[in-house]
């Protein structure tokens, strides 16, 4: 009565508007609340900056919205942009307190714990003594390993092909009503239940640095890790998109730890430490029952005469044997077919009878 008497019919309209907003689906408020994609949806939006570096300012809306950061507003990461038109954006700080409330702690979400893990890892810019490592600029930052992460949903009830399982979504819909929430939640959870990237993609990511001969030399690494992995059975299977073979992370990250917690071989916490190495292969998931020596073979043996002469000559022998057998066979087959094609052909002139 009071509402009606003071504001007339506008009071009820106001309440109706507020209720409409409250119950409005979340997707109405997309990540692009600032309408940044008015400009950034164009692939040609690019420039050369003052340092001569090319800057592509395009955001593929379709892919971005389906990705892990699809719900994050642009200004959640690009915090320095507060107005349009804006000045050239500063590099994004992935550790910024952002955008989304972490549901269990009800605190703002942040990637700070990743940085903490990384600082303690082999990829830290600083050594154990707190001093900067030589060539510390080679150490990876977030974007060296990560582009905008994409979901890789897993289907338990759909065995033919991976992806979102409609049957599983049907169960979710019994209690949950928001379609976007259901799909996103399903994607989020099931992506975490298996490899978030295929073994091939992981190996490619690591190889960008670990196969760079100059970087390998600078850091006195014993091998180009990606290349030597590719020579192994695991690497060849990964190249054929086998998801069950171990990738770099399976061997180099301690079980149950974040992928950012990789340690150098001398560190007792490292999986590759001489005391722990035996446990890498004989886990229940891989080769249960394998002896500790099983993991002591040269995993990253390179095809190199100096460092691995036995493997080099053994491999060379088999390559020569294979090529030396099959190539002459092909040559004989070819010549035989040639004769069948031209049965009367001859290099020498026939004697006239």
Partner 1 sequence: MKCFFTKLYILAFMGLVVFFGVLIWNLTFAHLIHEYHARKGDVSIQHEGEAGKKEKGKQTFDTMILESEDRVKHYLGYRVLEEQRIEGHFHHIGFDIGPDNRSYCRSCHGDMPHDKVKDVRAFLNMHAFFVACQTCHVKLEEKDKTNVYKWYDRKTGDIVDSPVNGAAPGTYQAKIIPFVRDENGKLVRIDSEEKIQFALDYKNNEKVLSEGQKSKAKKLIHKIISKTPVTCEACHTKNKPLLPLAELGYPQTRIDSITSTEVVGMIRNYTEFHMPKMLSPGEKPALPQLQPEPLLKQQSELQPKQQPELPPKQH
Site for partner 1 in 150-169 (CB under 8 A): 150-154, 161-164
Residue 107's DSSP bridge partners are 102
Site string for partner 1, 251-290 (x = CB under 8 A): ----------------------------------------
To the nearest whole angstrom, how small is the minimum distance from the Cβ of residue 343 to partner 1?
11
| Stretch near partner 1 under the rule CB under 8 A, chosen from 53-61, 117-125, 264-272, 286-294 | 53-61
The correct pick among 2, 6, 9, 52 for binding partner 1 (CB under 8 A) is: 52
Site string for partner 1, 177-196 (x = CB under 8 A): ----x---x-----------
Nearer to partner 1 (CB atom), residue 64 or residue 252: 64
Nearer to partner 1 (CB atom), residue 44 or residue 256: 44
The correct pick among 13, 15, 19, 26 for binding partner 1 (CB under 8 A) is: 26
What is the DSSP secondary-structure string of 169-225? HHHHHHH---HHHHHHHHHHHHHHTS-SS-HHHHHHHHHHHHT-HHHHHHTT-SS-H
* Distance from C-alpha of 68 to C-alpha of 23, rounded to nearest angstrom: 24
To the nearest whole angstrom, how small is the minimum distance from the Cβ of residue 267 to partner 1?
24
Nearer to partner 1 (CB atom), residue 66 or residue 273: 66
| Nearest one of 300, 297, 257 to 277, comparing CA atoms | 297
The correct pick among 42, 156, 314, 317 for binding partner 1 (CB under 8 A) is: 42
CA 160 to chain CA centroid, Å, is 24
Phi, psi (deg, nearest 5) at residue 252: -100, -5
Q: Which residues in the 312-351 window bind partner 1 by CB under 8 A?
A: 316, 319-320, 322-323, 326-327, 330-331, 333-334, 337-338, 340-341
Alpha helices in the chain (DSSP H): 2-7, 10-22, 37-40, 61-66, 74-77, 112-119, 142-145, 166-175, 179-192, 199-210, 213-218, 225-231, 233-239, 248-252, 278-281, 309-341
Q: Does 101 bind partner 1 (CB under 8 A)?
A: yes
Q: Does 114 bind partner 1 (CB under 8 A)?
A: no
- Give me the sign of the Cα torsion angle 246, 251, 254, 258: negative
| Stretch near partner 1 under the rule CB under 8 A, chosen from 146-154, 244-252, 257-265, 282-290 | 146-154
Q: Scanning the structure block, which residue is given the tokens 């053994």?
A: 314
| Stretch near partner 1 under the rule CB under 8 A, chosen from 61-69, 112-120, 124-132, 278-286 | 61-69
* Distance from C-alpha of 44 to C-alpha of 282, rounded to nearest angstrom: 51
| Nearest one of 267, 270, 261, 268 to 117, comparing CA atoms | 261
CA 104 to chain CA centroid, Å, is 26
| Nearest one of 120, 77, 70, 71 to 98, comparing CA atoms | 77
Q: Does 132 bind partner 1 (CB under 8 A)?
A: no
| Stretch near partner 1 under the rule CB under 8 A, chosen from 101-109, 251-259, 269-277, 291-299 | 101-109
Q: How many residues bind partner 1 (CB under 8 A)?
A: 94
The correct pick among 1, 5, 9, 85 for binding partner 1 (CB under 8 A) is: 85
* Distance from C-alpha of 199 to C-alpha of 242, rounded to nearest angstrom: 8
Nearer to partner 1 (CB atom), residue 52 or residue 256: 52
């Amino acid at each position: 009565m009071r509402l009606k008497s003071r504001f007339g019919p506008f009071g009820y309209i106001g309440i109706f508007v507020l209720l409409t907003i409250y119950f409005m689906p979340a997707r109405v408020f997309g990540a692009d609340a600032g309408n940044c994609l008015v400009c950034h949806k164009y692939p040609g939006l690019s420039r050369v900056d003052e340092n001569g570096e090319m800057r592509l300012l395009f955001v593929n809306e379709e892919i971005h919205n389906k990705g892990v950061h699809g719900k994050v507003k642009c200004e959640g990461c690009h915090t320095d942009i507060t107005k349009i038109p804006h000045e050239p954006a500063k590099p994004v700080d992935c550790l910024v307190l952002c955008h989304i409330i972490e549901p269990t702690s009800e605190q703002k979400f942040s990637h700070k714990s990743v940085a903490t893990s990384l600082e303690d890892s082999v990829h830290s810019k600083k050594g154990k003594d707190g001093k900067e490592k030589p060539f510390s600029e080679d150490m990876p930052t977030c974007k060296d390993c990560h582009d905008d992460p994409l979901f890789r949903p897993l289907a338990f009830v759909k065995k033919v092909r991976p992806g979102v399982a409609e049957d599983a979504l049907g169960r979710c819909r019994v209690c949950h009503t928001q379609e976007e929430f259901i799909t996103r939640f399903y994607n989020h959870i099931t992506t975490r239940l298996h490899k978030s990237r295929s073994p091939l993609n992981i190996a490619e990511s690591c190889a960008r640095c670990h196969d760079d001969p100059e970087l390998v030399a600078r850091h006195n690494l014993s091998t180009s890790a990606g290349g030597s992995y590719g020579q192994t059975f695991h690497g060849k299977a990964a190249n054929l998109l086998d998801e069950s073979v171990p990738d770099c992370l399976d061997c180099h990250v301690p079980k149950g730890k974040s992928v950012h917690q990789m340690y150098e071989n001398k560190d007792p916490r490292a999986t590759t430490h001489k005391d722990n190495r035996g446990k890498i292969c004989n886990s229940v998931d891989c080769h249960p029952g394998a002896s500790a020596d099983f993991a002591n073979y040269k995993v990253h043996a390179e095809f190199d005469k100096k460092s691995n002469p036995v493997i080099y000559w053994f491999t060379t022998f088999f390559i020569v044997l294979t090529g030396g057998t099959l190539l002459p066979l092909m040559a004989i087959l070819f010549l035989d077919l040639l004769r069948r094609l031209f049965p009367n052909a001859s290099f020498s002139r026939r004697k006239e009878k």
